[in-house]
Structure 1
Amino acid sequence: MLSEKSTATIRATLPAVGGAIDEITGLFYDKLFAAHPELLRDLFNRGNQAAGEQQRALAGSIAAFAVALIDHPDIRPDTLLGRIAHKHASLGVTRDQYAIVHTHLFAAIAETLGDAVTDEVAAAWDEVYWLMAHALIAIENGLYAEAGTEPGPSLRDHLVVGRRTETDEVVTFLVRPADGSPLPPFRPGQYVSVQVELPDGAHQIRQYSLSGAPADALQFSVRRVTGTPDGEVSGHLHDRVRPGDVLRVSAPFGDVALADGDGPVLLASAGIGCAPLITMLGALAGQRSKRRVTVVHADRSRRDHAFHAELGRLVAELPDAEAHVWYEHPEGDWPAGRTGLADLSGVRVDPGTTAYLCGPLPFLRATRTRLLELGVPAADIHYEVFGPDLWLGRDESPAG
C-alpha cells in the first residue's frame, strides 16, 4: 500500500509524469543499453526496441500501476502484475536487475523533468517503483518455484525432433530436452521462451505459444514476422532450424491458461492467435468435456489458417461445440456472412461464459467490447497478445 504522503504526491504529479512518460522511457532505455549493451544483445527484443513498442508497454504498465495504487489502494492489481511476472520469469529476470532498472529509470525521470523532481517527488515515485518491483519479485519467485527452477534463466538445450509446415508463414517445431530429462508440465494456453544465436553473435529470445500437447515433445508454432523490421528470430527459425538442431528453450509460463470448470467456454482468435487456443481446445477434447464450447476464428484466407483441419476434428470430438470462422479473402464457395472481419452478432454466448482471446489488438478490442455488451463480466474475459502488451492495464478492473 502506498503511504498517505506519497499518495498525495503521486496524485499531484501523475499528469506531468504521464505526459512525459514516453520521453522518460525512451531516455531510460538509451541509458540502460549504454551502460549494459549485453541486455539489448541477449535479453531485450531488438525488433520491439526499434519499433518503440517496448517503450510504450513499459510506460503503460508504470502509469497503470500508479493509477491502481491511487484509485484502489487496498487491492493489488494482479492482472497487471501477473502478466508482467510471467513474461519476466520466461526471460529469467532476477532481483538484482530491478536495481539496475531503478538506477537508469530515475536518472531519466530527473533529466526529463528537471527541477520538478524535488526530493519529495523522487521519494514518492521511488516508493511506487519498489512496491511494484517487490510485488513482481515475489510473484516471479513463486513462478520459478512452481516450474521447479531457481530464480533466473530456465533456458536449457532442446533437440529439435520435428518440424511441420502449417501455412506459408507458420511452422511448428517439436523439441525435447537434450539431456533426456522429463518434459516440463504446462497449462493449455502457456508459452515458452526460445533463444537463438543470430549471425552477429546476439542471443535473442522470443516467446512462442505451445500449440499442442504431444506426449513426447514440446510443440510450439512460429509465424514469420515481416515488416519494418522483419522478425530476425522468426526468420532464423524458418530459414535455418531443422530436426537435429539444438535450441535453448525455457520452462513454460503464461498467465492466460485454460481454467478448470464446467461452465461455457468461448475461444476467440485471429491469425496465429489460434496457436494457444487450439491447445485449449485439444485439452477439452482430451477430457471429453461436456462443456459448451464456442470457437471463433478470423483469418485472411483458408490457406493462411493454421490448424484448420485440427480445429474441425477437435470440434467434432466434443459433444457440445461449434466453430465460426471468417476469412477476409475467401476462396471458392464461402458464405457471405462469414466473409470479412469476425462479427459476434450471430454467435451464441451463454450466461456464465469464460472467454479466452488471442490475436492482434484491434481484434482483441472489438471482441472484448462485444462480449462486455453481451453481458460477459470483464473478470471472465482473458486475453493474450503477442509482443509487448500495449493494452496492459487499460480498461481492466484491479482484480482482472
Structure 2
Amino acid sequence: MLSEQSTPVIRATLPAVGAAIEDITDLFYRKLFDTHPELLRDLFNRGNQANGAQRQALAGSIAAFARTLVDHPGTLPETILGRIAHKHASLGITSDQYKIVHKHLFAAIAEVLGEAVTPQVAAAWDEVYWLMANALIAIEAGLYAQSGAAEGEVWQPMTIVERSAETPGALALTLRPADGTPARPFRPGQYVSVQVQLPDGARQIRQYSLSSAPDRPEWRISVKRVEAGAGPAGEVSSWLHERARVGDVLTVSAAFGDLTLADGDGPLLLASAGIGCTPMLAMLHHLAATGSSRPVTVVHADRTPADHAHLDELRSLVDELPHAALHLWYEEPDAQAPAPTTPARVSRGRADVSTLPLPHDLTAYLCGPLPFLRTIRGDLLRHGVAPQAIHYEVFGPDLWLAADQ
C-alpha cells in the first residue's frame, strides 16, 4: 500500500509523469544500454527496442501501476504484475537487476522532469518503484520455486528431434531435453523462451507458446517467421527457419505464462488469430486427453487456409470433443478451406464472435495481434461476458497492460 504521505504527491504528479513517461523510458533505456551493453545484446529484444514497443510497454506498466495505487488503495494490479513476472522468469531475470533498473530509471526521471523532481516527489516515486519491484520479485521467486529452478537459472539444453514446415511461414520444432529425460509437464497455454547465438555474437531471446499436449515427453514450439515490413525482420525467427535442424541443441527456458486453462466444467471460448493458435492447441490437446465434455467454441482467423498453421490438427482435436464447434474466418478463402458441409463453419473476412450463440457465463482465452484482441474482447463485453472471465496473450511487448483493470 502506498503511504499516506506519498499518495497525494503521486496523485498530483501522475499527470506530469504520465505525459513525459515515454521520454523518460526512452532516456532510461539509452542510459541503461550505454552502461550495460550486454543487456541489449543478450537479454532485451533488439527488434522491440528499435521499434519502440518495449519503451511503450514499460511506460504503460509504470503508469498503470501508479494509477492503481492512487485510485484503488490497498490493492495491486495483479494482472499487470503476473504477466510481467512470468515474462521476467522466462528470461531469467534476477532480483539484483532491479537495482540497476532503479538507478538508470530515476536518473532519467530527474533529467526529463528537472526541477519538478523535488526530494518529496523523488521519495514518493521511489516508493512506487519499490512497491512494484518488490511485488514482482516476490511473484518471480514463487515462479522459480514452482519450476524447481534457482533464481534466474531456468535454462536447459534441448535437442531438436523433429522439424516440420506447417506453412510457408510457420515452422514447428519438437524438442526433448538433451540428457534424454522426458520434458517436464507444463500447463496448457504456457510458453518458453528460446535463446540463440546470432552471427554477430549476440544471444537473443524470444518467447514461443508450447503447442503440444502438456504431458508428452517432448515439447513443441511453432515459429512464425517475422518478415521485414513496418519493422526489421525477426532475428531469432529467421535464424530458426534458416539454421535449426534435427539434432541441433537449443537453449530453452522452463515453461511460464499466465494464459493457462483453468479447471472446471463451464463453457469455453478459445479465440486466436495467426500463430496465436499455438496455446489453443495445447488447451485442446489437454481437453481431448482428459475426455472433457465442456462446451467449447473454437474461433480462428487467418489470411488464407494455406497460412493457417496446424489446421488439420485443429480440426481433428475439435472433432474429438463431443461439445465443440469450430468457426474459421479467412480474409482470402481458397480451395484449401474446409467445405461448408464439414463441422467447421468457414466465413470470409475477419472474425466476428458477435454472430455466434455464445453463453454469457463462458470463460474466454484469446491470443493474437492487439487489434484482434481488442475487437474480440469488446464484442464479448457487449455480449455480457464478465471482464474477469476474458484472458489474453498478446504478441510481443504488452501494449495493453491495463486492459483488464
Matches of 2:354 and 2:73, distance apart in 1: 38
Q: Percent identity?
A: 64
Aligned Cα root-mean-square deviation (Å)? 1.2
What's the CA shift string for 1:290-346, capped at 9, x where partnerless? 100000110000000011111111111111010000000111387797101111122
Q: Does 1:343 align with 2:344?
A: no
Matches of 1:30 and 1:76, distance apart in 2: 29
- 1:188 counterpart SS class: coil
Matches of 1:268 and 1:385, distance apart in 2: 12
Matches of 1:122 and 1:177, distance apart in 2: 48
What's the CA shift string for 1:42-63, capped at 9, x where partnerless? 0000000001000000000000
Which residue of 241, 244, 265 maps to 1:241? 244
1:2–1:73: 8 Å Cα contact kept in structure 2? Answer: yes
What's the CA shift string for 1:252-310, capped at 9, x where partnerless? 00011000000000000000000111111111111111100000110000000011111
Q: Does 1:221 align with 2:188?
A: no
Q: Does 1:274 align with 2:243?
A: no
2:162–2:173: 8 Å Cα contact kept in structure 1? Answer: yes
1:90–1:153: 8 Å Cα contact kept in structure 2? Answer: no
Gaps of 5+ in 1: none
- 1:20 counterpart SS class: helix
Q: Does 1:367 align with 2:376?
A: yes
What's the CA shift string for 1:36-88, capped at 9, x where partnerless? 00000000000000010000000000000000101111222111100000000
Alpha-carbon spacing, 1:337–1:167, altered in 2? closer, same or farther (3 Å): closer
Matches of 1:179 and 1:122, distance apart in 2: 51
Q: Does 1:67 align with 2:67?
A: yes
1:192–1:251: 8 Å Cα contact kept in structure 2? Answer: yes
Matches of 1:258 and 1:142, distance apart in 2: 19
Report what 1:252 is aligned to.
255
Q: TM-score normalised to the size of structure 2? A: 0.96
Residue 185 of structure 1: how far off its partner (Å)? 2.1
Report what 1:153 is aligned to.
153
Equivalent pairs counted in the alignment come to 396
1:91–1:153: 8 Å Cα contact kept in structure 2? Answer: no
Matches of 1:351 and 1:363, distance apart in 2: 20
Q: Does 1:381 align with 2:382?
A: no
Matches of 1:69 and 1:367, distance apart in 2: 29
- 2:167 counterpart SS class: coil
* Larger RCO, structures 1/2 (Cα 8 Å, 6+ apart): 1
What's the CA shift string for 1:340-394, capped at 9, x where partnerless? 1111122121132000000000000000000001111000000001100000113
Matches of 2:360 and 2:118, distance apart in 1: 52
What's the CA shift string for 1:86-118, capped at 9, x where partnerless? 000000000100000000000000000000000
Greater shift after overlay, 74-83 or 15-24?
Answer: 74-83
Amino acid at match of 1:391: W
1:325–1:338: 8 Å Cα contact kept in structure 2? Answer: yes
- 1:144 counterpart SS class: helix
Matches of 1:128 and 1:180, distance apart in 2: 46
- 1:55 counterpart SS class: helix
Q: Does 1:301 align with 2:304?
A: yes
Q: Does 1:50 align with 2:50?
A: yes
Matches of 1:242 and 1:7, distance apart in 2: 55
- 1:95 counterpart SS class: coil
Q: TM-score normalised to the size of structure 1? A: 0.97
1:41–1:202: 8 Å Cα contact kept in structure 2? Answer: yes
